[in-house]
Structures are given as C-alpha cells and as structure tokens.
Chains A and B, each alone.
Chain A
C-alpha cells in the first residue's frame, strides 16, 4: 500500500475520534456453519426497517434475494455443487455483507462526506447527507452499495451502528442460530478464524479464509469469511483492490495529458499562416 492510501486506513480514521475511539468491531462469517435459513436477512430487514425486494423466483437454488443492494444488507448465497445424478456433492451457503474494508473505496470517493468511519472502525453512510451521486456504488470492489429507491440515497450495512452504540451486537449476528455469523473485536476474530481454518482444513482441503490478511488489496476486511471454495464461486472478487490505491499516479498521468492538450491548443493557435 502506498503512503497516500495509508492515510485512509481504518486505524488512521478511527484514531480521529481520540478518547472516543473504540476497538475495531466486525464480523467473522464461518460459512461451514451456515444452514441457509436466512434469519440474518430477515433480522436485518426488520431492525433496519428495510422494504422487501418483491417476490421474484430466480431458479438459482434457494437464492431469490440475488445480491446485496440498497435495501438488502445481508444476502445468503446458495451454491449447489452436485454430480449429475445428485447423490453426491455439496451445498455451499454463505451470508454475504459489507466488508467494512480497512481501505474502503466507497469512503475514499464519497464527495459529500456522507460516508464515515465510525469510532468502531466500521463504514457507515449518513443518509441525511448523501445526495445520491452514486460514486460509492462504482468504487466498491464487492458491489455492496445500491440505491434505496424510496428515499433516493445509497444504502448498505451499518454493522448496526445504533445497536453497537448501546453495547448490543448486530441484529444478524444475534439472529443467526448456528453462530455462522460471529460478531466481535476484529483482531480476535482474525485469530479465531485462523484456528477454525486449521480444524476445517483437515476435512476440507479447499477451505480458505477471505479478507483476513491486512496486506491484501483492501487492507483486510472488518468482515472476514471462512469459505469452502474459491471466492468467485460465491460471487466474491478473488483479489479485490481498493480503486484509490493508484490515485496519485492517475493524477500524474492526467496532468501530463492536460499539459499536452494545452500545448496542442497553443500550437494550433500560433501556427496560422
């Protein structure tokens, strides 16, 4: 990571809270425990008072939710890996959510300051400030953010900022009956994830951790995952990189192009006969 982007890490941003700074909180989603009950989806909708997505039958296994969006902040993915005769194989389930990235593209690009890093190190959109410019939508490497049609601002998981403030855990983690969704201090979750991986790998060689590495392209997630297959199988980017990473170089190249453009105009103007 370049020096430029280090200025916008979760730690640097949370530190601006001074005495109010708290431990960085996050999720560890252990997909090996998920039973696909969607209690997290429902609990999230209820607590955050998000409207339904309608009733559309996708034919994509048990997934009629389709994707994370402005009004859907938890999404359970269903992957059927069956042999043709369906007597062997497995069914992968994963509850997806905003990654609360250490280097968050959405936060970096938001031009109104509507997106903030909270004292818990999480990433939250203030919907009374957002003007719906849509820049965050295209700056998230995970396709998390979408428009909330009813109030024309952008929406995503807040890690239940309101519940955290009063010492409660997020609604989805509370509702999850199998502890597939675990809430806690990110450093502890990382350790827990490592230990769990050790165990699971004995049985499932393809098991892997996702976003637990602080040196990956987004500086690691505040949400980490234990997956049973490659990230792309679940619709996750295999090697996400915060788009702002090479922003200074982009400005430099643009500066050269602008200078060349100025030179070209002047040449065209003075080369009259």
Chain B
C-alpha cells in the first residue's frame, strides 16, 4: 500500500493560482528595483534611476493585479485592511506592499510628469528603504505554512528570494537602460544571479536529500533546470556584454525569464511537497 492513507495528501496544497508565483517575481523585482533607483539617484545617475523607478512601478502594478485577482472574492480585498495581525505574514505583507507601492507610484508619477520633484525624491527614498523588505517578506509568508518544501529551508529561503529579486531587478536595468548607463544594474544582475544559483545549492543541502526531491523531481525539477540554463546564460551575457547594447539586452531578457522560472520552480516544489504525503511524514518522523 502507498504511504499514509491511500497515498492521499496529509496537508492541502495551495488553493492559489499561478498569479501567486507571478506576484513573488513582480513584487521581488519591484522591491530591489526601487532600492537601486534610490541608490542611483543618490549617486546622480539619473537615467538609470529613472529606468529603475519605472521598473518598480511596473512590478507594483503587476503585483497589485495578481494579489487582488487571486482572491476567491476580489471585491473583498478591502477586508485585508480591517485588522493588523503580527501573527500573519500576509497581513504584515499587505501593509508593507501598500506603503511600498504607494511610495513607488508617487515617485514614478513625479518622474513622468516632472511636477513636485522633491516629493518624488522623498517617496523614492522611502520606497528604496522599504524595497529589500518588500523583496524578502514573501519568503516568510510561504515559510509560515505547512508545505515542507517552504517551511523547512528556514535559513536559505529568504536568501534565495533576495538573490532572485536582485537578479531580476538588475536584469530590468540591463534590458531597458543603455549600455552606457547600466553599470550598476549589470553588477547587481551578476551578484544576484550568481547568488541565486549558489543559494539554491545551499537550500538543497539545508533540507536534505529526501526533502530536496520536491525541488529536483517532476515539474518543479524541470522548471528549476530550465531556470538554471536561463540564469547561467544570462550571467555569461551580462559579464561579456559590457559595451554592447544588444548583448546587455539579451542578458536582461534571459535573467528575467530565469528569475520568473525560478519563482515557479519554488512554487511548484511547495505544491509537490504537499501532494505527496511522504514529505510530511519524513519531516515528522
């Protein structure tokens, strides 16, 4: 006989749609993009700062759509704001996201219209400071579940989310800024992309070979392998394309695709670790 009770899941896999891993990607990108925008503004590289704040705004718009559209009752999104619950990373996250995206939209609005620039700078700075939290809190959100593949990598999952966000934000800069201005984005893409590949290894190590199968087998495994090819390709192009607009853009596109694919790989790993009861049984043996 199969494990447990007729091989049925012990815990329920998420009732979420693919909008949720899409949100992890877009929200992560937005967070780190806002921080890079802030840093570039401070360093007076206004052109890259502008590209990055638009990246953050795009990420926020996609995020807001995903978050609301994924609710089974989207018209009740507002109920999220009737309580503040420190025990719920989603409640905490709604306030992080609201403060962050509000600041980003004001900063981007000032940038486009050219009005109230000092206010735009101010809110750009706020967004830049909240940005890293925006990029990483989703690791706490999924960690605070009973999906073994998300719950068990206590040390490495936040790092993986941070690295993926850095790679995606850097990739945005490579894709949309010219080779003349994109130096910081290139460095961020290289650091983030390399860290992503390395931390993923550490994650497998942290949870051990049995639990790591959730990440390496099935659809999650196929996505992870695809992501790896895209990311390594993106890292190589980013390293080589210093003076080339075309190669920079290829690097950006590869790393964006790699980051998105990696988000889906992590998401599917969590689902897989719920659907097969062996993961829960192993973690509770």
Chain A contacts to B: CB under 8 angstroms: 8, 58, 60, 63, 66-67, 77, 79, 105, 108-114, 129-135, 137-147, 152-154, 232-241, 243-244, 246-247, 249-251, 253-262, 264-273
Contact = CB atoms under 8 A, between A and B. Distances in A.
A12 B281 CA distance: 31
B179 to A, nearest CB: 14
Given A135-B88, A258-B132, A265-B36, A250 B143 contact: yes
Given A139-B146, A247-B87, A261-B136, A147 B72 contact: yes
Contact of A261 (B9, B45, B135): B135
Please indicate which of the listed interface residues A58, A112, A113, A272 has the most CB atoms of chain B within 10 Å of its own CB: A112
Contacts of A58: 6
Interface in B73-107: 73-74, 76-77, 79-80, 82-83, 85, 87-91, 94
Nearest to A246: B154
A170 B135 CA distance: 45
Contact of B155 (A60, A235, A253): A253
A238 B72 contact: no
B73 A254 contact: no
A127 B144 CA distance: 23
Contact of B161 (A8, A114, A257, A265): A257
Interface residues of B, number: 76
B284 A266 contact: no
A261 B90 CA distance: 21
A238 B10 CA distance: 10
Given A132-B71, A139-B145, 20 more contacts: A109-B145, A113-B82, A131-B73, A131-B79, A132-B76, A137-B14, A143-B274, A154-B72, A233-B4, A235-B6, A238-B281, A238-B284, A250-B144, A251-B140, A255-B133, A256-B158, A257-B161, A261-B32, A268-B184, A269-B45
Interface of B: 3-6, 8-16, 32, 35-36, 39-40, 42-43, 45, 70-74, 76-77, 79-80, 82-83, 85, 87-91, 94, 129, 131-133, 135-137, 139-140, 143-147, 151, 154-155, 158-159, 161-162, 165-166, 170, 183-185, 187-188, 191-192, 274, 277, 280-281, 284-285
A33 B94 CA distance: 47
B89 A247 contact: yes
A211 to B, nearest CB: 14
Contacts of A63: 6
8 contacts: A8-B87, A131-B76, A132-B73, A133-B71, A140-B11, A154-B72, A254-B133, A261-B166
A143 B10 contact: yes
